[in-house]
Amino acid sequence: FFWTLNSSLLYQRYLFAQETLHSPSLSPDIVSSLPSAPLLSSLLSLSRPVPLSYRLLDGQDTLPPVVFLHGLLSNKNIFQYEAETLAQKTGRKVLTVDARNHGESPHNPDCSYEAMSADLQDLLPKLGLTPCVVIGHSMGGKTAMVLALQKVVSLSR
């Protein structure tokens, strides 16, 4: 299932509880409600981008690169033929990416479209692939829509 967590609120609660732990009037209710340190650490890392696994086919810089985003039960290899053909016939750079929790990309408990978009917002400028054309299937299409709506990365189409 998908869920969203306000990690800032959780962190504020944690800090408040830490202050309370050092006070003379220690409340057992607050202590019992504190998450464990590993759980807190994993919850606070939910909003951070993960380093995605990708395959970049080299091409010319004169045309916008194309980025392929796969669907829910797939990985970057699903578009291998299309990516190679497009790169060969058009001379464009073509990127295929494994979304978080898919293929060779790292796993993270946050599997929201916003998190997947943040991963791309982190990756695309690092590779010098902005502006770009994004093509997504199913989950990849929804990720592409979120990426376009957030307007952080320059998209060509």
pLDDT tens column, 2-22: 333 444 444 555 555 555 555
Is this model's pTM higher than 0.75 or not?
A: no
Of 121, 110, 122, 116, nearest in space to 143 by CA: 116
Per-residue pLDDT tens digits for 45-101:
556 899 999 999 999 989 999 999 999 999 999 999 999 999 999 999 999 999 999
Class of domain 54-150: alpha beta
Yes or no: say if 152 and 129 are a contact pair by the CB < 8 Å rule: no
Gap between the Cα atoms of 56 and 41, Å rounded: 32
Domain boundaries, the chain: 7-44, 54-150
Yes or no: say if 35 and 14 are a contact pair by the CB < 8 Å rule: yes
